[in-house]
Structure 1
C-alpha cells in the first residue's frame, strides 16, 4: 500500500487501539488520586509524593522502550506479540491497582506505588509502540493529521466511555471494558496498515545509537519544550477536576456530564482540526486552539456553588480547543522525524521521549498541585471560602498562565516549527 495515500478505513483500523489506551488513562491519571484520597482515605500530601515518584520513575524507561520499539517495528510479528503481552499485563495491573487486597495507610501507599509501576510499564510499552507505529506510516501533512486525528478521536471516545463506566457503573465494569477493548484494539492494529517493507527488511541504522539522537536536532528540542509547557496547562486541571466539581461547584452528580461534554466536544472537533492543520499548518492551528482554550477556561475563575450550566458551557468550549492539542503536536512530531532524516529508522526513540514528556507533565501536576493545595489549606470536602479560593486559582488561573506562555513560545518559533 502506498503509505502516502492511506484511506480513512486503514487509518481507522490503526486508530482503534487509541480507544483502550486512552480509556485506561482517565482512571489512572484522573480517578486514581480521588479514589485513593477520598475513598481509601490516603492523605493528599503523601499520595502526591507517591504519584510523583512512581510517574517519574515510569517516565524514565520510555526512551529505553523506544529504542527497543525501533527494533520491534522492523519485525511486525514480534511487534504484534509484544502488543498482545501488553494487553494482558495492563488488564491485570489495572485490576490490582484499583482493587487493593490490603488496608492501612502505609500498606496502601506501598501497594499503590508497586501496582502503579507494573501497570504503567505495560501502558508505556503499548503507548510508545503505538505512537511509533503511526509515525512510521508517514506521509504529507494532510495524511499525518488524518492518522493522528483517527488515533486521538478513538482515544477521546475511550475517555468518554471510561468516564461513563468509572463514574456511573463502577470500577469493576471499567476493568472488564478495558480488557475487551484492548483485545479489539490490538486486533485492529495488527490487521491495519504496517510500516513499509523497506523499514522492515532494511533494518534501522539509527536504532542502535544512543538515546540522545532526537536531542541533536534543534527542531525536536523546541517542539518538546512547547509540548511540555502546554502539557502542564492540561495536566493540572485533569488532576484537580473531580475536586473542583465536587467542592467548588458542589455538583458531584454532574461529574459524568461535565467530563462527557468536554471529551465529546473534543471528539466532534477532530475532523475540523485535522482540516485546519492541513490548511493553516500545524503551528497556526495549535496556536488557535491555545487562544480558544484561554478564552474559555478563564471563566472558571468566576464560578461558585451551583454554577453547573456555566461550567458545562466552559467544558464545551475548552473541549473543542482540546482538539488542537491532540491533532497538531503529533503531526509536528512526525514532521520533525522526517526533516531530521530519521524516518522509518528511529521513530521509537522519538516516541519514547515524547511519552516521557507526557508523563513528566502529569507527574509534575500531581506532585506539585496536590501538596500545594494541602499547604494552602484545602482538603477534599472543604467548604470554607479561603480553601475554595485556593482550589479555584490552582485549577483555573495556573493553567491559563501556562497556555499564555505556550502561545508566546509558538510565536517565538513559528517559522522553525513548520513542516509540510
Structure 2
C-alpha cells in the first residue's frame, strides 16, 4: 500500500535537496576547484559560466516543451535526467579532464545544468498540482514550500560542507562529494517515483500567459534582483574567507553555519507568513539580510567570529528567500497557468542567470584587480574583493526590496 500523496512530502524534501546540491554549491566549489587544480583563469571560468546561461535562453523553454511532450513517460524521463545529472557531476569532479580543462568544465556543466533544468521544471510543475491536492485555500503552497525548500537548504548544507569533511579525513574532497551526490540522486529518484504523472496534465501554452500577466512579470523581476545577491556571495565566498579573512580551513564550517541557519529558519518564516502574509514576511527578511550583510564590508584579517555572526543572520534571512518567493510565484501560476511548464522554465532561467551573470561580471573584475587565489594579494585587490562581496549584494537586495514592495499580490 502506498502512502497518501499528502504524506509523501519528505520525498519532495529529499528530491529538492539533491537539486539544490547540484545548483548553488557548483558555483561555490567548481570555479575554485578548477583554478587550484588545473590553473584555469577566473576570467575564462566566468566566461564559460555566462555562455552556458546564454544557451539556457533557448534551452529552458525547449526543456519545458520536452517535459510536456514526455508527460506520459514522465517517470522514465525523470530517471534518465537524474542519471545524466549524476554522471555529469562525477565527470566534473571525479574524472581527470581528458581534454583541456576549460572545455571539460564546460561539457560537464552543460550535462549537469541541462538535466538540472529539466528536473527543476518538472518538479515545480508537479508541486503546483500537489499543493492543490493538499489544500485549495492556497496554504498548501506554503506547506509544500516549507518541506521542499527546507529540504533544498539541507541539501545545500550537506553539499557545502562535504568537501571539507572529506579533506579532513584525508580523502579526495571533490571526488568524494561527486560520489555521494550520485548515490543521493538515485535514492531521491526512488523515493519520489510514485509522484510522477499523478494528477498533472502539463500543457504547453508558451510564455504568453506568464509574460502578459503584470504580477508574474514583476515577480520574475523580484526573483532576478533577489537571487543576484546570493549569486554574488556564492561566487566569491571561498575567496573571501581564504584571502580577505585569511582563514583557510574555515570555509566549510562557515558555509555550514550559513546554510544551517537558513534551513532552521525556513519553517519559522513559513509559519510567520501564514499569520502576516508571505509578502510582509519576505520583506522583513530582506531588511534583516541587508542590515546583517552590510557589516561584511569592514571585515579584515582574523575577523572570523564577526563573520560567523553575519553568516548566522544572513543565512536565517536566506531561509525566507528560498521558501516564500517560490511559493508566491507557484500560487500565481496556479491562477494564470496552472498546468503550463513555461512559467517554471522562466523561473529556472532567472535563478541560474543570476549565478552566471555574477560569475562573468565579478571573476574577471577580481582578476583585473590583481587578485590571486591562495596567493599574496595587494590591499587594492583585497579591497576590491570586499566591495564585490559585501557592497554589491546589499545594493541588489535593496533593489529587490523596492520591487517587492511595489508588487501587488492577491494577499494584499
Matched, 1:88 2:75: no
Structure 2: distance between partners of 1:21 and 1:58: 17
Matched, 1:11 2:5: no
Shift of 1:358: 0.6
- Is this contact kept in 2: 1:64–1:349, CA < 8 A? no
Match of residue 387, structure 2, among 379, 393, 402: 393
Structure 2: distance between partners of 1:248 and 1:412: 37
Question: What TM-score results when the alignment is normalised by the length of structure 2?
Answer: 0.91
SS in 2 for 1:213: helix
In structure 2, the CA distance between the partners of 1:91 and 1:266, relative to structure 1 (3 Å rule), is: same
SS in 2 for 1:378: coil
Matched, 1:258 2:254: yes
Structure 2: distance between partners of 1:372 and 1:301: 17
Shift of 1:241: 0.2
**What's the CA shift string for 1:327-348, capped at 9, x where partnerless?**
11111112211222x22x21x2
Structure 1: distance between partners of 2:5 and 2:149: 17
In structure 2, the CA distance between the partners of 1:328 and 1:6, relative to structure 1 (3 Å rule), is: farther
Structure 2: distance between partners of 1:82 and 1:213: 26
In angstroms, what is the RMSD of aligned CA positions? 2.0
Between Structure 1 and Structure 2, how many residues are aligned?
398
In structure 2, the CA distance between the partners of 1:277 and 1:125, relative to structure 1 (3 Å rule), is: same
Q: Which residue of 2 aligns with 1:417?
A: 409
Matches of residues 273-288 of structure 1 in structure 2 within 5 Å? Answer: 273-288=269-284
Structure 1: distance between partners of 2:272 and 2:25: 31
Structure 1 portions without partners, runs of 5+: none
Q: Which residue of 2 aligns with 1:354?
A: 347
Shift of 1:185: 1.1
Matches of residues 3-402 of structure 1 in structure 2 within 5 Å? Answer: 7=6, 9-73=7-71, 75=72, 78-102=73-97, 107-139=100-132, 140-169=137-166, 170-192=173-195, 195-196=198-199, 199-200=200-201, 207-340=203-336, 342-343=337-338, 345-346=339-340, 348-380=341-373, 381-402=375-396
Structure 2: distance between partners of 1:113 and 1:56: 13
- Is this contact kept in 1: 2:204–2:342, CA < 8 A? no
**What's the CA shift string for 1:167-223, capped at 9, x where partnerless?**
221122212211221122112212358643xx44xxx5xx24333332121111010
**What's the CA shift string for 1:106-150, capped at 9, x where partnerless?**
x21111112211221111111111111112223333210111111
- Is this contact kept in 2: 1:128–1:352, CA < 8 A? yes
In structure 2, the CA distance between the partners of 1:211 and 1:408, relative to structure 1 (3 Å rule), is: closer
Structure 2: distance between partners of 1:360 and 1:163: 21
Question: What TM-score results when the alignment is normalised by the length of structure 1?
Answer: 0.90
Structure 2: distance between partners of 1:295 and 1:37: 32
- Is this contact kept in 2: 1:13–1:191, CA < 8 A? no
Structure 1: distance between partners of 2:269 and 2:188: 24
Q: Which residue of 1 aligns with 2:397?
A: 403
Structure 2 portions without partners, runs of 5+: 167-172
Structure 1: distance between partners of 2:141 and 2:197: 14
Shift of 1:396: 0.2
Q: Which runs of 4+ in 1 moved over 4 A?
A: 192-195
SS in 2 for 1:261: helix
- Is this contact kept in 2: 1:22–1:159, CA < 8 A? yes
